[in-house]
Structure 1
Amino acid sequence: MVSAPTNLPAGNCPTLGLVHPTAEEKLAQFKANGVEWRGALSLETYLRREEVLANQNQTKNGGITYWALVDTAAEKRVVLCGCETYRKKALVARNGKVEETISHGIGSVFCPPAMRGNRYAQRMMQEVGKALRTWQTGDKESLFSVLYSDIGKSFYSRLGWEPFNSAHISVPARTAKELPTDGLPTTRPLYEKDLAELCRIDEAIIRKTLESRSSNSKIAVALVPDINTIQWHHAREDFVGNELHGKSPEIKGAIVGTEEGKRIWTIWTRMWYNNDPTASENNTLHILRLVIEEQGELSLESQGAHNPTNGSNSTPKHAAAVAALLLMAQEEARKWNMAELEAWNPSPAMVFAAQMLDPDAEVVNRDKESIASLKWNLPHEHPVADSIDWIGNEKYGWC
């Protein structure tokens, strides 16, 4: 437990500043936040998980950066608040072209209980926002950063990270009883060895989609779902699976079709939220990414539509294929002690498919947890969510 020093400075104190914590300070911060975030893992195991995740291809060699707010004038340095940022490959379509940019995702914002009530988190985020404009970007400024708020929409919005569409649809894990599959296409599982090539194709599709939007009045942005990003999620899944169940999941997604250019696939990850490793409640298989390879379909089916209903009684194109993919996901959720599967910002095909499997499934617009939020670093006149399309606003971008 971190005890509060006497005479804590106010959050607007001019001597407060950002630093990179020492190994000792970082460990103390992990021990403090682990009390709240470790779930079914022991604290010691949680610390090992964070070390493993910090050494993935996505995070090693500067891919993850740790930040701490301290009083730079204090005789003895004390961490008042901390967070970490993840370097992310991103694309921006504007002014008739597609630009590559370095973005950053902000995670693990944590103020030790003894330090709370002094507006340190607010001050730290103001400083982090400024620092990320040029952090690891070479001779360019970063165009945007993202975070996923678990404290509602207002706090981070006041600091510049404006809330975007944050909806999901979920269906229960598949029961042992067989469900009708007449008319659904054949599905085959995806394994780790399959993913690198599919991620390469997915990135090319996203680039083409952004190119088609580059002359629009609205800017379009996307975090790239490359193999390093996907493998980071699976490293987390594998670690927890091994710790709780003595094995890691082999099936990482599912695919329909064999002809290149006409396939549909989804990649998922399992997250154990319940503090009881034998219980399934709240454990969730998350759809990281849905890809419809057919040219021109990305913007309609796999970016996460703002309006998840299609406004008619017709069946959305590809709904049967998506339902087949969800059936395999349901079975994987059941096998791994998940209560449900969940897809973020579902397209019309995803909504229709989910309701084929569970007629009671409804789109939920989140207002408290996992609020996708984006800070645009250039001057703008209108609310960011009204002037920017976030393509692929799905679970893979979460950190």
Structure 2
Amino acid sequence: MFAHLSIYPATHDQAIESRKRSWEHWGKRYGFPDQQSYIDRPGTYASLVPGDDDFHSLVVWVLAPRNDPETLDFMCACEVYRRELSVSRQAGSNLDPTSEEPIGYGVGAVFTPPDKRGKGYAKHMMRLLHWVLAPASSFPDPFPEQWGKPPTVPQNYGRGVVSILWSALGPEYYKSCGPYPGKDGWTVVPNTLTSWDVETMLQRVDEDAKIGQWTFLEGGRVEEIAQMDSELITAEARTAPPPKHATFSFLPRQGLAQFWQFFVRHIDEPPEYWGIASRGSEEDRTPGLPFALWAYAFFPDKPRTLWITRLRCSKGLLPSVLFQIADYAKRFGIVKIEAWNLPDNLKEEAEKIGGCHTLAEGHQLASVKWYGEEDKVEWLNNER
């Protein structure tokens, strides 16, 4: 049924067409003022396969006929980021994690236009995607004959040990998109969402916690903290005892920590700061000193929310960090602060200042496809 179709990195025109198609569905939802500003967001004009010097370039992939791969009448599209990883193998693994820098991929923006829905195109695209993200050697069986020839694997692809996505379609849809018929694809992993009401938090924080030596970080400074944090994540993985099962963590450097900044540039008076760090971490460059990075969820017809995307903080300093964030957030009409997968040692302190813990749901279903040999894997530092 699908043998006449395959997946291809989008041409320049196809990448623009994919954004035009999803403008009504996603562009307006994210508050872009017009279609062109949505088209111009990062990745559209650099949508071909990235080179080694542009590690995190976004690549638009399309499902198209084999006899006309550059057509603008393609069936569906998605977007893929290549991302740096830190991986720890379980004790006794015969794979050397230091032999090659591990690679992971983030998948998003899966979209089929209304006139092509109900035909299984998106599911087939996602099934084929495994065969360009992971080494063929990671699959126990050859490419299914009924799907035709395997897709061509371009430079910098076919090396992944994991791919992830966030499902807005429940836990089963992407799980059913495996590399073979009947084989699992992306599996939902549990995520705990901690949220605070800004006004409640400001009232509950003790007076002595409101005093601290903190520096707010402009957009350009975020990358410095992300680089420090990435080095620390890598060092922690290398020095920790071998885990009982494989673990992986995406590294926030090389622009990943700054991904969300584009989404508020189009608003009047966009926020200036995207993080906070102790003055010690800024002046002494001591790894591990407290900091927090965040993004802004300013979506039409929804309460303004601040998402904490990365947090390194002791239990004792958590109220001070959160007070500084909440006090700044209030200036922009932000009513809620959210954090994913807060470390266990911080949860009790978070509750004292109004934090509520729930399981992430809706469009927030983080899902993983592991291509390594291990049967079990844990996603560390998944903070959005």
Where on the TM-score scale, by shorter chain, does this alignment land: which range? 0.7 to 0.9
CA distance in 2, matches of 1:190, 1:53: 32
Report what 2:212 is aligned to. 186
Report what 1:89 is aligned to. 84
Equivalence map 1:148-227=2 (5 Å): 148-159=166-177, 160-174=185-199, 180-184=205-209, 186-192=212-218, 193-213=220-240, 215-227=242-254
CA distance in 2, matches of 1:213, 1:43: 48
Bigger mean CA offset, 90-99 vs 331-340? 90-99
* Contact 1:167-1:366 within 8 A present in 2 as well: yes
CA distance in 1, matches of 2:43, 2:234: 33
SS of residue in 1 equivalent to 2:206: coil
Q: Number of paired residues?
A: 342
Report what 1:371 is aligned to. 365
CA distance in 1, matches of 2:78, 2:53: 15
Deviations 1:298-338 (A, max 9, x none): xxxxxxxxxxxxxxxxxxxx323112111122223222232
Q: 1:249 aligns with which of 271, 276, 284?
A: 271
Report what 2:299 is aligned to. 273
Q: 2:337 aligns with which of 338, 341, 357?
A: 341
* Contact 1:257-1:264 within 8 A present in 2 as well: no
CA distance in 2, matches of 1:140, 1:13: 22
AA paired with 2:74?
V
CA distance in 1, matches of 2:272, 2:69: 52
CA distance in 1, matches of 2:379, 2:253: 17
CA distance in 2, matches of 1:53, 1:329: 34
SS of residue in 2 equivalent to 1:378: coil
Q: Is structure 2 residue 311 aligned with structure 1 residue 285?
A: no
Structure 1 residues 51 and 18: CA distance shift in structure 2, 3 A: closer
Q: 1:329 aligns with which of 325, 330, 341?
A: 325
AA paired with 1:113?
P
Equivalence map 1:1-399=2 (5 Å): 12-38=1-27, 39=29, 40-41=31-32, 42-50=34-42, 63-73=57-67, 77=71, 78-94=73-89, 95=93, 98-99=97-98, 100-134=101-135, 141-159=159-177, 160-174=185-199, 180-184=205-209, 186-192=212-218, 193-213=220-240, 215-234=242-261, 236-237=262-263, 240=264, 242-245=265-268, 247-256=269-278, 258=280, 260-261=286-287, 263-275=289-301, 281-292=302-313, 318-358=314-354, 361-380=355-374, 382=375, 387-395=376-384
Structure 1 residues 58 and 223: CA distance shift in structure 2, 3 A: farther
CA distance in 1, matches of 2:166, 2:201: 34
Structure 1 residues 182 and 227: CA distance shift in structure 2, 3 A: farther
Structure 1 residues 219 and 180: CA distance shift in structure 2, 3 A: closer
Structure 2-normalised TM-score? Answer: 0.79
Structure 1 residues 230 and 57: CA distance shift in structure 2, 3 A: farther
CA distance in 2, matches of 1:131, 1:18: 9
Deviations 1:103-144 (A, max 9, x none): 111111001111110111110001111111155675973211
AA paired with 2:171?
K
Structure 1 residues 60 and 37: CA distance shift in structure 2, 3 A: farther
* Contact 2:296-2:307 within 8 A present in 1 as well: yes
CA distance in 2, matches of 1:19, 1:172: 45
Deviations 1:238-285 (A, max 9, x none): xx2x4222x33222212246263562111111121225xxxxx33321
CA distance in 1, matches of 2:126, 2:372: 17
Structure 1 residues 161 and 59: CA distance shift in structure 2, 3 A: farther
CA distance in 2, matches of 1:319, 1:53: 44
SS of residue in 2 equivalent to 1:147: strand
Q: Post-superposition shift, 1:190?
A: 2.6
AA paired with 1:146?
I
* Contact 2:304-2:333 within 8 A present in 1 as well: yes
AA paired with 1:30?
R
Structure 1 residues 371 and 139: CA distance shift in structure 2, 3 A: closer
Structure 2 residues without counterparts, runs of 5 or longer: 136-152, 178-184
Q: Post-superposition shift, 1:60?
A: 5.1
Q: Post-superposition shift, 1:349?
A: 4.1
Structure 1 residues 201 and 108: CA distance shift in structure 2, 3 A: same
CA distance in 2, matches of 1:82, 1:139: 17
Q: Give the share of equivalent positions with the same residue, in percent.
A: 20
- The alignment yields a C-alpha RMSD, in angstroms, of 3.1
Q: Post-superposition shift, 1:176?
A: 11
Report what 1:7 is aligned to. none
Q: Post-superposition shift, 1:177?
A: 7.1
Structure 1 residues 138 and 162: CA distance shift in structure 2, 3 A: same
Q: Post-superposition shift, 1:84?
A: 1.0
CA distance in 1, matches of 2:251, 2:124: 30
* Contact 1:81-1:111 within 8 A present in 2 as well: yes
* Contact 1:144-1:375 within 8 A present in 2 as well: yes
* Contact 1:81-1:110 within 8 A present in 2 as well: yes
Deviations 1:188-236 (A, max 9, x none): 13323543432232122211321244623311111111142112222x2
